[in-house]
Structure 1
Amino acid sequence: MTRNADLFARARHRLPGGVNSPVRAFRSVGGEPFFTARAEGPYLWDVDGQRYIDYVGSWGPMIAGHNHPAIREAVARAIGNGLSFGTPCEAEVTMAETICRLVPSVEVVRMVNSGTEATMSAIRVARGATGRSRIVKFEGCYHGHGDAFLVKAGSGALTFGLPDSPGVPKPLADLTLTLPFNDFEAATTLFERHGDEIAGLIVEPVVGNANCILPRDGYLQHLRELCTRYGTILIFDEVMTGFRVALGGAQERFGIRPDLTTFGKVIGGGMPVGAYGGRRDLMEQVAPAGPIYQAGTLSGNPVAMAAGLASLALVQEPGFHARLEAKTIALTDGLQAAADEAGLPFSTTRIGGMFGLYFNRDHVDSYAKAMASDAAMFKRFFHGMLARGVYLAPSAFEAGFMSIAHADADISATIDAARETMREIG
């Protein structure tokens, strides 16, 4: 038995499904997960010594590559002074100032410990500030495992959601409305019917949990206009896109100013972290400045702040995002060419350091099109690539992440592996 197999057997005895986050279990693609022993730059090594070119990047934080020396050294310096104080520290002030400088819509920010905490808190602010109860989310968008977000659409875009997970009460799910992403008319109709009931609309400006779906021209502007007209708080979930698709996030890239924004991943450099922030008049309603309560024992802890500040320093280097996007373009163009050679139905999406892969001849710009892709073929592709030392997200419906550490040789090796795999499965 390999060490990977032995560890998974042990894990299944003590962890639900053998993992601490569901997608890691490989249920979507079949087989058993590997256990990572160490990581460096664009690579992972499992406990059996196999090296993988990694396009998951800890699900987004590793924009500079794994174990970057500047981040590692910043963490080591912080640890030398203690792990957590339970009091304010200078690093959290510097982090707040940095986020507000890089993202102009954010005037005041609160640090938390995960993206889920950030999105749950942003929704609470929207409800508290407006006095309304309903929220709007989108098919294919994931905002963490908060009860309000674990809702799926009914038979139509305007159907009130039903709980998508046991443990979510239906009365709470009834407060969540769902819309198809990129559908202008559905959004307009929903607001015409329910606009005066909606506290907040939360959206991933680039959908990263239906693989990678970009907004149609003018769509985010349309949502901004509807929210302004009906007094609804527009929340951009930039946990994935923040500092990855542009220095100022998707809102900079698309020229939109949301009312609130949530962050995670890149701002922690690999440490557990999240943040939410936005307009001063909204954020000053958060305790202790105002009556909307939210707290966290480890929020703004010095180790996470040190890692995040080092990560943000790296992405501010001149030309960082241009170089990152060029790598993403080279990879997706090469994968498309390999699929065309093999005669496979295949398309890609990309923006900044994010990309999507679909076994689908059509350009995917909606959740319905994403779901129409050939998931069975993706499973075969995933395992063929894994056997050739390339680790992609173990799901047909998760975005891929590029890092600045991926060299031309890594991208070429990935394309070569894809060419072999696609010929094999074609």
Structure 2
Amino acid sequence: RGYTRKNYIIKIDGAYHGHGDSVLVSAGSGVATFVAPGCPGIPDTVANNTLVVPYNDVKALEKCFEKYQKQIACVITEPVCGNMGVVLPQKNYLASLRKLCTQHNALLIFDEVMTGFRACFGGVSKIENVEPDITCLGKVVGGGMPLAVYGGKAEVMACVSPDGPVYQAGTLSGNPIAVAAGMATLRKIKSIPTFYCDLEIKSKAVEAAFKKAADDNGVRVALNRFGSMMTVFFTENEVTDYESAKKSNLKFFAEWFNQMLKRGIYLAPSQFEAAFVSITHSDEDIEKTAIAAREALKASLHAAC
């Protein structure tokens, strides 16, 4: 907004971008789990400046730009969604976002807090060859410490203080311990030539284990995976956006989560979250997960009878 001098932002239905009033409108993750329409306490005057469109729906975005013309400051999205469960971009979707934002002089913001460093060093933007104007990073970038990073094109970043008029400060900003942990983690990843190949092998093995467990028990699932993050949706349909994610069997997922927990496997407790594979997960860990998934699904089916 400070750079474009415009008021409206466009976000994706069901996407979560942190605890800011403007982006808590139609957020996913915990809000979705507890079936809340939004977060209480957000004034209408704030919410009215946030426009919401479905993920993977280029036509909805085009209509939004047509209606609000030169009033849209930015489009913010997870390039691969993780807070409605893992949902992948359809072919040319991200490229279409880039084209529309450029055409209408709006900034494109990629929230790669979850996807950053999951599949490669350059994130989804590198894999899809789509360059945003601003990128947000977190989680992996902190090496387990509370750290977030954002950056963008020089002309945009020049607006941020102390160089520009857009205020930016924080008590914990640039915390030296967190930054040191993050730098050490990224150096370690970069020092292992086969890091992402090894991680992909492990992730594929977990994905295959979940699929086999479902097949062995006659359970229909949609399994979406990007790199080392994935979600098992208990549904017969393809999951391509928040609406299709919400049609999953949430009660069955909750039962499966508890059955997995009893067997020593800790998944995220919400259908609208991602499971993450780590490079430290051993072959034994993956085999234990495979056995647990099969047993947990069988027990979940029994509990549902």
TM (normalized to structure 1)? 0.67
Equivalent residue, structure 1, for 2:79: 205
Equivalent residue, structure 1, for 2:3: 129
Instruction: Pick one of 350, 359, 368 that aligns with 2:225.
Output: 350
- The Cα of 1:195 is off from its aligned counterpart by 3.4
Equivalent residue, structure 2, for 1:290: 164
Rounded to whole Å, the distance in 2 between the matches of 1:389 and 1:179 is 39
Rounded to whole Å, the distance in 2 between the matches of 1:422 and 1:366 is 25
- The Cα of 1:422 is off from its aligned counterpart by 1.2
One-letter amino acid of the structure 2 residue matched with residue 213 of structure 1: V
Equivalent residue, structure 2, for 1:241: 115
Residue 349 of structure 1 aligns to a residue in which SS? strand
One-letter amino acid of the structure 1 residue matched with residue 271 of structure 2: A
Equivalent residue, structure 2, for 1:394: 269
One-letter amino acid of the structure 1 residue matched with residue 200 of structure 2: E
Rounded to whole Å, the distance in 1 between the matches of 2:126 and 2:75 is 19
Rounded to whole Å, the distance in 2 between the matches of 1:321 and 1:233 is 30
- The Cα of 1:298 is off from its aligned counterpart by 2.4
- Point out where structure 1 has 5 or more consecutive residues left out of the alignment: 1-126, 154-162
- The Cα of 1:374 is off from its aligned counterpart by 0.3
Rounded to whole Å, the distance in 2 between the matches of 1:401 and 1:387 is 19
Rounded to whole Å, the distance in 2 between the matches of 1:253 and 1:312 is 18
**What per-residue deviation string (whole Å, max 9, x for no partner) do you get for residues 345-397 of structure 1?**
21211111111111112221111111000001101100100000000001111
One-letter amino acid of the structure 1 residue matched with residue 233 of structure 2: Y
Equivalent residue, structure 2, for 1:258: 132
- The Cα of 1:330 is off from its aligned counterpart by 0.8
Percent of aligned pairs sharing the same letter:
47
Rounded to whole Å, the distance in 2 between the matches of 1:349 and 1:425 is 21
Rounded to whole Å, the distance in 1 between the matches of 2:264 and 2:25 is 36
TM (normalized to structure 2)? 0.93
Counting only pairs closer than 5 Å after superposition, residues 2-151 of structure 1 correspond to structure 2 as: 127-151=1-25
- The Cα of 1:270 is off from its aligned counterpart by 1.1
Equivalent residue, structure 2, for 1:268: 142
One-letter amino acid of the structure 2 residue matched with residue 333 of structure 1: A
Rounded to whole Å, the distance in 2 between the matches of 1:152 and 1:408 is 39
Rounded to whole Å, the distance in 2 between the matches of 1:414 and 1:173 is 42
Structure 1 outlier segments of 4+, above 6 Å: none
* Number of residue pairs the alignment of both structures matches: 292
Equivalent residue, structure 2, for 1:182: 56
1:374 aligns with 2:249: yes
**What per-residue deviation string (whole Å, max 9, x for no partner) do you get for residues 48-107 of structure 1?**
xxxxxxxxxxxxxxxxxxxxxxxxxxxxxxxxxxxxxxxxxxxxxxxxxxxxxxxxxxxx
Equivalent residue, structure 2, for 1:365: 240
Equivalent residue, structure 2, for 1:301: 175
Higher relative contact order, chain-length normalized (CA < 8 Å, sep 6+): 1
Contact map agreement 2:134 2:152 (CA 8 A) in 1: yes
Instruction: Pick one of 185, 208, 217 that aligns with 1:311.
Output: 185
Residue 334 of structure 1 aligns to a residue in which SS? helix
Residue 160 of structure 2 aligns to a residue in which SS? coil
Decide which structure has the larger Cα Rg and report it.
Answer: 1
Rounded to whole Å, the distance in 2 between the matches of 1:356 and 1:195 is 36
- The Cα of 1:328 is off from its aligned counterpart by 1.1
Instruction: Pick one of 174, 195, 209 that aligns with 1:334.
Output: 209
Residue 135 of structure 1 aligns to a residue in which SS? strand
Instruction: Pick one of 92, 95, 100 that aligns with 1:226.
Output: 100
Contact map agreement 1:261 1:276 (CA 8 A) in 2: yes
Rounded to whole Å, the distance in 2 between the matches of 1:268 and 1:241 is 13
Equivalent residue, structure 2, for 1:71: none
Rounded to whole Å, the distance in 1 between the matches of 2:289 and 2:251 is 21
Residue 148 of structure 1 aligns to a residue in which SS? helix
Rounded to whole Å, the distance in 2 between the matches of 1:329 and 1:297 is 41
Rounded to whole Å, the distance in 2 between the matches of 1:323 and 1:253 is 18
1:409 aligns with 2:284: yes
1:383 aligns with 2:266: no
**What per-residue deviation string (whole Å, max 9, x for no partner) do you get for residues 108-130 of structure 1?**
xxxxxxxxxxxxxxxxxxx0111
Rounded to whole Å, the distance in 2 between the matches of 1:414 and 1:152 is 33
Rounded to whole Å, the distance in 1 between the matches of 2:212 and 2:69 is 46
Rounded to whole Å, the distance in 2 between the matches of 1:363 and 1:322 is 27
1:164 aligns with 2:45: no
One-letter amino acid of the structure 2 residue matched with residue 340 of structure 1: D
Residue 3 of structure 2 aligns to a residue in which SS? helix
- The Cα of 1:152 is off from its aligned counterpart by 2.2
What is the RMSD computed on CA atoms of the aligned residues? 1.4
Rounded to whole Å, the distance in 2 between the matches of 1:171 and 1:245 is 39
1:194 aligns with 2:68: yes
Residue 244 of structure 1 aligns to a residue in which SS? coil
Contact map agreement 2:15 2:26 (CA 8 A) in 1: no
One-letter amino acid of the structure 1 residue matched with residue 253 of structure 2: F
Rounded to whole Å, the distance in 2 between the matches of 1:175 and 1:201 is 12
Contact map agreement 1:195 1:232 (CA 8 A) in 2: no
- Point out where structure 2 has 5 or more consecutive residues left out of the alignment: 28-36
